[in-house]
Amino acid sequence: MSTTGANADPLAALGALPGVAESVESVRKAVDRVYGHRIMRRRSNEITSEAALRGARGSAALSGADWALEEVRRRSDFSGDDEARAVGAALRLTAEAGQLLSIWRQSPLRVLARLHLVAAADKADQVGRPRQNGEPVDEPLVELPLPDAEEAHGRLDGLAALVAAGGFAPALVTAAVVHGELLALRPFTSDNGLVARAAERIVLVGSGLDPKSVCPAEVGHAELGRAAYLAALDGYVSGTPEGMAAWIAHCGKAVALGARESTAVCEALQRGAA
């Protein structure tokens, strides 16, 4: 991760990049709209459950398993092939993320290890720990240069220290950096994209921006498309202020689209109750 100088709070420094404040404000307005919907006051648990399902579908789509929502809803066996396993892993991660909120700030590395264990439970002794020198990484949809294991470990420790330190950065900025850094590092031997998007969800929920987890950024990332996702990630990896701001803005658009999705669900439930 690159920042704009030796600031005591580098995440807050990113929040001061041109255009980032506008992205933060746009996201806040989108989140407020869904939380202010009358259906949220009576049926928020239903909205949360539906957002989890749709978020998992979106995350799996970005990992190459672009299934229709009704297929994800209908299926009970996710062991058949690589696509089915990706969808199953995304669903498990979405369910697990809510159980890890209280641990995240104190021990982000422990949470990331747990997320990988949940996602890649069938990968034998390579699960739940950062990769070691010489171990290959199965992440074919992310074609960025791969940092070696020593660099990945060091940067992962740095990311964990930033998260544990807290600070004053907007939730969107922290979530975008966590997401981008995990994709850039690919610290595990597999399923890094799924883990990165689950970690983004944990930050957004745990920060209080989306406490009921009804604004699934994964939906927005999938809607914006894999090409735009990877192009924005290139900006993050470049480390330039413009590239970092573009990645944060992209993540902001994804959260806003997730909020819009849940607003549409609220509207549908309202029409059904009318």
Q: Which residues, listed in sequence order, are joined to residue 138 by a DSSP beta bridge?
A: 190
Place 80 in a pLDDT band, splitting at 50, 70 and 90: confident
**pLDDT tens for each residue of 229-239:** 999 999 999 99
Residue in 174, 177, 257 with CA at minimum distance from that of residue 221: 257
**pLDDT tens for each residue of 146-166:** 999 999 999 999 999 999 998
Helical axes 149-165 vs 171-185, angle rounded to 10°:
170
**Mean pLDDT of all residues belonging to the chain:** 93
Distance (Å, whole) CA 179 – CA 201:
9
Query: What pLDDT score was predicted for residue 272?
Result: 83
Which region among 4-8, 51-55, 244-248 has the lowest average model confidence (pLDDT)?
Answer: 4-8
Residue in 157, 158, 135, 160 with CA at minimum distance from that of residue 146: 135
Query: What pLDDT score was predicted for residue 274?
Result: 43
Would the pLDDT of 1 be above 80?
no
**pLDDT tens for each residue of 209-263:** 999 999 999 999 999 999 999 999 999 999 999 999 999 999 999 999 999 999 9
Give the rounded distance of the alpha carbon of 237 from its chain centre.
Answer: 17
Query: What pLDDT score was predicted for residue 7?
Result: 46
Q: Which residues are CB-contacts of 70 (< 8 A; sequence separation ≥ 6)?
A: none
Query: What pLDDT score was predicted for residue 147?
Result: 96
* Ramachandran sector of residue 113 (left: φ over 0; alpha: ψ -120 to 50; beta: rest): alpha
Mean pLDDT of 64-78: 95
pTM of the complete model: 0.94
Mean pLDDT of 122-149: 90
**% pLDDT > 70, the chain:** 96
SS3 91: helix
Q: Which residues, listed in sequence order, are joined to residue 180 by a DSSP beta bridge?
A: none
